Amino acid sequence: MLRTALSLVLLITSNTVLAAERFAFHHEAILGTSLELKFEATTPEAATLAEKKVLEEIARLSAIYSTWDSTSEMRRWMDGEQAEPNVSQEMLDLFKMSEELWTTTEGAFDPRIGHAIALWKKAEKEQVLPTPDALKSAVAAIKEQAWRIDAGNKSIRRVNKTPLTFDGLAKGLIVDKACAAAMSVAGVEGALVNIGGDLKLAGTMQDEVTISDPKSPAKPLVTVDLSGLAIATSGNYERGFKVGNESFSHILDPRSAMPAQQVISSSVIAENAAFADALATAFSVLPVEKSLAICKNEPQLACLLVTRDGTVVTSPGWPDNINPQTGKPVPKDRDHSPESQLWNANAELKIDFEINRVEGRGYRRPYVAVWIEDSKQRSVRTLVLWLQTSNPGPRWHRDLKRWYKQNGTKKLASGSNLIGTISAATKPAGSYKTLWNGKDDNGQMVKKGKYTVYMEAAREHGTYQILSKEIVIGDEALSVDIGTNVEIKSAQMEYLPKGSSK
């Protein structure tokens, strides 16, 4: 009888399947940008191990591909210190992919673009546009063979000293391999790796990705649901060269050494992040018709292009609807749901809090952030952001740790600048209030459901404190105490119909 009972327990245990939960991690200064990780894992330990594996893989590949680190394999090869035979498989993969992309894009993607970059940097420094002869000379130099691959001997011979840049393609490759490293962990069923806006989803991971309107980067153009694919966006609205009163895109056409002009934003969905990143750059300089033709020939490839006059063009495989009257994608927000599930337009969330007065000389006002995250730990709305407004600098990023991890990544990916639009000077000790009207940072009404209110405070030469409280937004009024700490003397919130009090 005992043996039978034990067998039954073992049978039940062996057939128990742990439900996967979603875990999120954020890091700064990874490959010079932000890193966002999301895992669907059966245990917190599996998610933590996946984070560790991703960071290790990024560090390993950076030691191969980096053009800034003088000890990397790439730099030693470029500087002539790396013996030609026996290069790593990762180096061979990078160069082979570069050649494949060069052929596919008819030269619109070319790592030898360094000659053109140097020319435009000089033009900006001297404030004189490149002459036709200088442009012609740069194009001729770009066309010269720079390397020769002998795959059998795992050899890449450098033919000349042409300046090479693999940054975009290498970052995509790192995203792909880091995502694979996460998926190799037992208990991890889905993964998302996002490095500075280049991202890859694998396994069961499904997420919404927002693409900014290049004409107004703080606003979304479209939102797409992705799973098992990668996406990257290139555009001329963030960086560029300025000569005199004219601004030029930082994306240069290797075939002419001229900045991109016709396409101001290019988004590409592909099976891997490396191709998505490289093609997003190439599609910025190719004629629209050519980019669409490339996508047509590849079933897992799709693009969305925004031209200089604001026209939006998508390839047939793009996962979004097109408005037949305007010919433009229909913006899709996170609240694409029945009206009854949206936040009650006549309700608001009121948050009252009091900043504590810390005794002692040299008291400095704390930096404070109050914001809302949804049930998937995605930042929805920043309500308060009080920072040092004179000579600000990177202290903002370091001190309000969680706020920046959640919103800094979002800012880089979407082009929005929440710091510039919300920040105000730090406030003295005293009582304050803020209201949430149910709209997200893009002005879209959110759904009812679970949200978490975060309140973060950091003081120079003082403490770092954070409070959080989950709240369910529905049809009923409620009142909740958020808590207290060294910096926040008290904090409460009420969800009520507008204009009423409890």
pLDDT of residue 231: 96
* Residue 29, φ and ψ in degrees, nearest 5: 60, 40
Q: Which domain holds residue 429?
A: 340-497
Checking if the pLDDT of 321 tops 60, the result is: no
Does 112 fall in a domain? no
Instruction: Provide CB contacts within 8 A for 312, sequence distance 6+.
Output: 221, 304, 305, 306, 327, 328, 329
Length of the chain: 502
Q: 60: helix, coil or strand?
A: helix
**pLDDT surpasses 60 at 327:** no
- pLDDT at residue 494 in the model: 93
- Residue 212 CB-half CA count within 13 A: 25
d(CA 108, CA 281): 8
- Per-residue pLDDT of 24-52, as tens digits, reads 998 988 998 889 999 999 999 999 999 99
User: Taking the chain, what is the end-to-end CA distance rounded to the nearest angstrom?
Assistant: 61
Which residues are CB-contacts of 350 (< 8 A; sequence separation ≥ 6)?
433, 434, 435, 493, 494, 495, 496
CB atoms within 10 A of CB 103: 10
Whether 292 maps to a domain, the answer reads no
Work out the mean pLDDT of the chain and round it to a whole number: 84
DSSP 8-class letter at 341: G
The per-residue pLDDT for 424 is 73
pLDDT at 415 over 70: no
Query: In degrees, to the nearest 5, what angle opens at C-alpha 116 toward C-alphas 113 and 117?
Result: 85
Banded model confidence at residue 394, pLDDT cuts 50, 70, 90:
very low
CA atoms of 317 and 293, how far apart (whole Å): 12
Within a domain: residue 133?
A: no
C-beta of residue 92 within 8 angstroms of C-beta of residue 156: yes
Domain-embedded: residue 47? no
325 confidence band (pLDDT: 50, 70, 90) = very low
316: in domain: no
Residue 13 CA to residue 9 CA, distance in Å, equals 6
Alpha-carbon gap, residue 396 to 386, rounded angstroms? 10
Which CATH number do you get for residue 418? 2.60.40.4070
Mean pLDDT over 101-109 rounds to 95
User: 66: how many CB neighbours lie within 10 A of its CB?
Assistant: 18
Report the share of the chain in percent with pLDDT over 70: 82
- In terms of Cα–Cα distance, which of 291, 256, 284, 237 is closest to 104? 291
For residue 276, how many other CB atoms are within 10 A of its CB?
A: 29
pTM reported for the whole predicted model: 0.64
Give φ, ψ of 59 to 5 degrees: -65, -40
Residue 18 lies in a domain: no
In this predicted structure, the answer to whether residue 215 has a pLDDT above a threshold of 80 is yes
User: What is the per-residue pLDDT for 324?
Assistant: 42
Confidence check: pLDDT of 21 > 90:
no
Residue 379 has pLDDT above 50, yes or no: yes
Higher pLDDT, 422 or 41: 41
Distance CA 166, CA 94 (A): 8
CA distance 214 to 460: 37
- Cβ atoms of residues 199 and 50 within 8 Å: no
The DSSP secondary structure of 94-134, one letter per residue, reads: HHHHHHHHHHHTTTSS-GGGHHHHHHHHHHHHHT-PPPHHH
Distance, in Å, from the CA atom of 266 to the CA atom of 279, rounded to the nearest integer, reads 9
What DSSP assignment string belongs to 135-197?
A: HHHHHHHHHS--EEEEGGGTEEEE-S------HHHHHHHHHHHHHHHHHTSTTEEEEEEEETT
Number of domains in the chain: 1
pLDDT tens for 48-80 read 999 999 999 999 999 999 988 999 999 999 888
Phi first, then psi, for residue 245 (nearest 5°) are -95, 5
**C-alpha distance from residue 343 to each of 229, 333, 384, 391, 440 (Å):** 32, 14, 21, 39, 11
In a domain, 372, yes or no: yes
Dist. CA 209–CA 17, nearest whole Å: 30
Residue scoring higher pLDDT (423 or 106)? 106
d(CA 3, CA 8): 9
Residue 397 pLDDT > 90: no
Mean pLDDT of 135-161: 90
Give residue-wise pLDDT tens across range 229-261: 999 999 876 568 989 888 898 999 999 999 998
The residue to which tokens 């009142």 are assigned? 479
Task: Report pLDDT for 277.
Answer: 94
3-state secondary structure of 338: coil
**3-class SS of residue 452:** strand
461 pLDDT band (50/70/90 cuts)?
low
* Residue 16 within any structural domain of the chain: no
pLDDT of residue 404: 74
